[in-house]
Structure 1
């Protein structure tokens, strides 16, 4: 069932500018509501000088079965332990500018799937060693004549099929088999019910049996929306509208976290009703703004929310689209 909403504002206890030299002195901020209430962890992931180690971020977040947090940045993929210490890095041209990631446990290990818009490909690599397993450029076998290929989202079906959204170009969504062989495509660019105007984010919606695709139609007019499609590319329903600019989706149990580029994150329940809004930024100068340097960050206030992921305890890790590289840990209040 489709749901509509007006922008919701939540009261944040207080906000404070991050100090580069004394991030540990910044007090946590509580946000959200009900069972979806969280406290920020000031300075999480910073180096000893209180600075972000990431550099520019325009990517996603995933977590492996050991609890390590992977986030993608311009420099590559940086892996953190839950305490914010860096565990390892995958740097260089092969790993740079991954716009979206998915992680999947398979028979021979855990693997990261990535969508690289600037490099016009989908990829798969080993989450522990970084060994590159697959690269999926534009599939010429599709018969399409595209001037540009810029994938923004990737997910994997239960049978291993890889689904890659060309969200910054044609808005076709491509389906490959587990070996990277092209199978089919669906969708097209537009503002119609079954069209995409920036199919920006996507995941496998495991709240349903069988699972289905949950797709962020970021720039659909008049306001962004989420859609359900089956794994064969058939339209099911418009899930919710009026979300601003939804960038990605992450599932845990019955709940979905949806970052909005306007500087907020909404959480939906199993009925796709909004149950909490986190980090709401009402300042038009700093929301949907990449160029907010670290010395202007405000604790508990987001700027360009782009990626998120849940850990096993229900905590959230949230990445901002940001020139200095912002990744935040939100601890769920029990």
Structure 2
């Protein structure tokens, strides 16, 4: 991105910050540019008393076929209606600490797949009954059981049902299982080389291409975070973009992908992996990548530890921060 464009983004973000603070009542903030322009929805997802409904957040976002929005948080998974009301929740030790979630419609219902970094497993559960039907760990057949820690950061599912689980907070292996949980293979290793991962933090199946491929967020790669493509057989394709700060996850809709950056912004790329828009850019370096920003200090239109995102059918975005009080947002896409 050209320096003058970054300067404009910084100026716009500062103006948004000043504008938000100047209001007695919080007003929507417009962000982005061109066809990727959005308005914030102040207060979306808060309880009637004005406080966060989800508690501490370090997770992801998905949406079911009915349009309900699932946010994973420290305490479990919370389900919201499009207007921001909690309509269901799955709480307790079995649903806690899902660092990343993915939803998939299958023959016998809709299922959520979760990567539980603190609890050292991948899981699959029914999105509407909560029944857990699959647990994933380090497979015996991999030769790694007992030799590595499992701290998974991302999970995704191929069109044929194969499951990929990224051990991004530990060995940086990516494990591949079939739809029943049978081990198939693993690939990757920790490091800073072209074909190594320095925190394989986020991952999804990139359906912008035929055949689909894995899109992996290499969050801590030096000098700055990057996105990579791999085949579904674990073969390196290419490094598609660098300089993204600390990319945490990826969500695909059509030809576009939204990529949260933990430093406090969300980047939207097109099919050529060119930056189309930057949302919520935080000009204060000290408050980007910052977990301990209490709700009393949230600023409308300015992001902090941006961690998860998902598109709805209308092209709106739902975004979650890594945040002590549980910050979640709805961004409404402005129609041309």
**Please, what TM-score do these two structures have when normalized by structure 1?**
0.95
Distance 1:16 1:297, change over 3 A: farther
Q: In structure 1, what is the Cα distance between the partners aligned to 2:24 and 2:124? A: 37
- 1:259 maps to what in 2? 260
Please list, as runs of the form range in 1=range in 2, the aligned pairs for 1:125-140 lying within 5 A after superposition.
125-140=125-140
Flag the structure with higher helix content. Answer: 2
Contact 1:152-1:201 within 8 A present in 2 as well: yes
- 2:183 maps to what in 1? 182
Please list, as runs of the form range in 1=range in 2, the aligned pairs for 1:141-152 lying within 5 A after superposition.
141-144=141-144, 146-152=147-153
- 2:154 maps to what in 1? 153
Count of residue correspondences = 328
Q: In structure 2, what is the Cα distance between the partners aligned to 1:8 and 1:32? A: 12
Contact 1:308-1:319 within 8 A present in 2 as well: yes
In structure 2, stretches of 5+ residues that fail to align are none
Contact 1:17-1:297 within 8 A present in 2 as well: no
Contact 1:116-1:122 within 8 A present in 2 as well: yes
Secondary structure of the residue that 1:183 maps to in structure 2? Answer: strand
- 1:245 maps to what in 2? 246
Q: Tell me the C-alpha RMSD between the 2 structures.
A: 1.7
1:17 Cα shift? 9.7
Contact 1:104-1:110 within 8 A present in 2 as well: yes
In structure 1, stretches of 5+ residues that fail to align are none
- 2:284 maps to what in 1? 283
Residues 223-257 of structure 1, C-alpha deviations (whole Å, 9 max, x = no match): 00000000000000001000000000000000000
Contact 2:20-2:27 within 8 A present in 1 as well: no
Q: In structure 1, what is the Cα distance between the partners aligned to 2:203 and 2:309? A: 12
**Please, what TM-score do these two structures have when normalized by structure 2?**
0.95
Q: Name the stretch that deviates more: 231-240 or 282-291.
A: 282-291
1:55 Cα shift? 0.7
- 1:116 maps to what in 2? 116
Secondary structure of the residue that 1:285 maps to in structure 2? Answer: helix
- 1:33 maps to what in 2? 33
Contact 2:219-2:226 within 8 A present in 1 as well: yes
Question: Are 1:72 and 2:58 an aligned pair?
Answer: no
Contact 1:120-1:138 within 8 A present in 2 as well: no
